[in-house]
Chains A and B, each alone.
Chain A
Amino acid sequence: MNFSVLTSQFWSLCLSGLSLGLIYVLISLGYTMVYGVLRLINFANSEIFMVGTFATVWIETGVTGHTTNSNPLHGFSLVWTMTFALVVAMLASGITALAVEFFAYRRLRAKGTNRLASLISAIGMSIVLSESARILSHSRPQASPRLMEKISLGHLAGANFRLDTVLVVVTALIMFVVLDRFVNKSRLGKAIRAVSMSEENAKLMGINISRVISVTFLIGGLMTGAASFFFMTVYETTKFNVGFNLGLAAFTAAVLGGIGNLRGAFFGGISLGLLETMSAAVLGSQWKSVTVFVVLVLVLLVRPNGIFGEAIQQTRV
């Protein structure tokens, strides 16, 4: 127990908690959006994230030809490489998400079977993805090269505003706002919300349910892919089972905010990031997941539908 850390390094912890939290927010979108339309946990989302991190490493080392020893990039080539890696990671995760939907959910949904069958087939997909990655990477951790120098942009109230942290926070915020606008304003976004309110009524209104579900998986995958790029920028190493802990935390974030609710996922993710960073500083990092789950249980006891409730009317088994 070391509570003095909280006062001495408060703002610094807040900043790192914020960047971790925003990564959680982006991953939890993969859970919460799919849950919104299907009422099913997208169990393979943690592996969709893992695929994104591997794609990032592959682009940065295999395609643009950097090694972990080469010098950091500057100027235009830095921006270009980073954007390229971000787009490829998003696409890789997005395509994986579509594949997951196609193999694990589509046929089962058409048959109208019980929810657990889809859960198990999603778990099966997740085993397939993580095992393929394990075999391809020979169970070795993969390190991504440091593309940019992690220079400090300045100190404010004791917090070190490092370039990568600031980049993650700003870009992730922009992505979330764009997604929120998209879901609330665009035609497709309205279709997604309609399906999440009532599938039957949406069908009667002429909405193509299968297409909306595919698009939802794609968007969730794209956001998870962006999260995996940010994760690699900050933490720089990945492994075939990297998705498990992050996916679990992101799913907890989605539940904390109220699953199926975009803004709930946002606040859930950020509070979880802050909570994890603070509790790791005070209690030691081995207890952070325990703290998180205790808080989750306490929150659910007081508000059984999460802090912000659910966007949809009710949840049923």
Chain B
Amino acid sequence: MINIRDKGAALWEGWNHTQRTVFAVALIGFVALMPFAGNFAFTSVLDTPIASYQDVLVYPIGMFVLMGLGLNIVVGKSGLLDLGYVAFFAIGAYTQAILSTRTHLNAWEILPIGMGFAMLSGALLGLPTLRLRGDYLAIVTLGFGEIVRIVTLNISITGGTNGIARIPNPPAIAGLKFDIMHPVNYFWLVLTMILLVIWMIRRLSVRRPGRAWEAIRQDEDVAMLMGVPTLRYKIWSFSVGAAVGGAAGVIYAAKVIVIAPQMFTFNISVLILSCIVFGGMGNMWGVIFGGVILAYIPERIRFITNARQLVFGIVLVLIMNIRPDGLLPRKKREKVKAKSGVKNV
């Protein structure tokens, strides 16, 4: 089986600092030009038939990649199964919707507040539940996701079923207008956020929290015996993941103008989790790749409207059967160790 991940890593290792910088800048530049691919000669095959291609690049693709990276901290790095990630997205979105319609704060000022709320709720949810293991955690997080949706559906400040309308767009920055006519600017905004998250994850991975998460994922008991304060790092992992979800929610609400509870269903949690497992759990590039593929496919095949979710389900089953570790799995050396060691039940 081809392993693009190892080949890519080997190539990267062989480069010096200048080559790496050139490659990174070229890659970012290439991605930043993606919004124009929709109506450019032969790349127009990428264009999505019914939805606007530039909007699709922001949501779902950009948002899914962003949230996939956030959830990957929880699921991929620390090995905690979170089935209610949409809750943090919803908390961010409703923070933006409520604060921007009722106060004079704009989206840039609300962004840190939304992230703070999401982090706080992540920590509050984590405190009692992160002592549990595995599937119990899965069901409690799933329940949390549903609770947030039901609460937004039933209290007055969130507008119930109708949701909240007329959410103001973020004010312009350096001449870049953020409104319905300029989806490209939103794409660049989301891209910047994705790059910031990538940078954060890369920094955290090589420092104490990253190593603690890795240890917890591989064997929690051993990590605890080695003196890793497991509960504290699990709560951190939860909160950092939640903050990314909250940030995505704030920007999403500011872009779509109207939000309602039915946008924050369990399906979103499942889709984001699928991006991670599909792309390759724990590997950042795999998650990005998985997010792009899984968000793009349903939009690209929108012309078979009725059956597109069905095709999506079949693709999930097939790919998981063919490549159970995802399209770009995490580093090979970990897998070799797992095979030679005691079977992890």
Contacts and interface: CB of A to CB of B under 8 A. Distances in A.
B295 to A, nearest CB: 15
Contact of B143 (A111, A113, A116, A293): A293
Nearest to A126: B313
Given A39-B345, A131-B310, A252-B139, A290 B132 contact: no
A127 B132 contact: no
Interface in B129-187: 129, 131-136, 138-140, 142-144, 146-147, 150-151, 153-154
Given A131-B309, A248-B142, A121 B136 contact: no
Interface stretch (A58-66, A172-180, A295-303): A295-303
B281 interface: yes
A289 B147 contact: yes
B273 to A, nearest CB: 7
A131 B307 contact: yes
A119 B277 contact: yes
Interface stretch (A102-110, A141-149, A154-162, A209-217): A102-110
B320 A117 contact: yes
B321 A107 contact: yes
A292 B142 CA distance: 13
Contact of A127 (B135, B142, B144, B312): B312
B266 interface: yes
A195 B313 CA distance: 30
A42 B312 CA distance: 19
A125 B135 CA distance: 19
B266 A244 contact: yes
B310 A132 contact: yes
A103 B324 CA distance: 13
A125 B220 CA distance: 31
A150 B277 CA distance: 49
B79 A127 contact: no
A108 B321 contact: yes
Interface residues of B, number: 49
A35 interface: yes
A123 B316 contact: yes
Interface string B104-119: 0000000000000000
A313 to B, nearest CB: 11
Interface in A230-275: 244, 248, 251-252, 255, 259
A78 interface: no
A286 B153 contact: yes
Given A287-B154, A289-B146, A315-B134, A251 B317 contact: no
B136 A300 contact: yes
B274 interface: yes
B277 A127 contact: no
B154 A286 contact: yes
B128 interface: yes
Interface in B293-345: 306-307, 309-310, 312-317, 320-321, 324-326, 343-345
B316 A120 contact: yes
A35 B310 contact: no
B278 interface: yes
A114 B146 contact: no
B343 to A, nearest CB: 8
A291 to B, nearest CB: 10
B324 A125 contact: no
Contacts of B266: 244
Contacts of A286: 150, 153-154
Contacts of A74: none
Q: Which of A111, A120, A251, A255 has the most CB of B within 10 A?
A: A120
Contact of B309 (A117, A127, A259): A127
Nearest to A111: B324
B312 to A, nearest CB: 6
Contacts of B143: 248, 252, 289, 292-293, 296-297
A135 interface: yes
Contacts of B135: 35, 41, 255, 259, 315
Interface in A165-195: none
Contacts of A126: 313
A204 interface: no
B119 to A, nearest CB: 20
Contact of B313 (A112, A131, A315): A131
Contacts of B325: 113-114, 117
A124 B345 contact: no
A117 B133 contact: no
B156 to A, nearest CB: 13
B270 interface: yes
9 smallest beta-carbon distances between A and B, as pairs: A124-B316, A127-B313, A293-B143, A113-B324, A128-B313, A121-B320, A124-B317, A117-B324, A131-B310
Interface of B: 75, 79, 81, 128-129, 131-136, 138-140, 142-144, 146-147, 150-151, 153-154, 220, 266, 270, 273-274, 277-278, 281, 306-307, 309-310, 312-317, 320-321, 324-326, 343-345
12 contacts: A112-B343, A116-B75, A117-B324, A124-B314, A124-B315, A127-B313, A127-B316, A286-B153, A289-B146, A292-B143, A296-B140, A301-B128
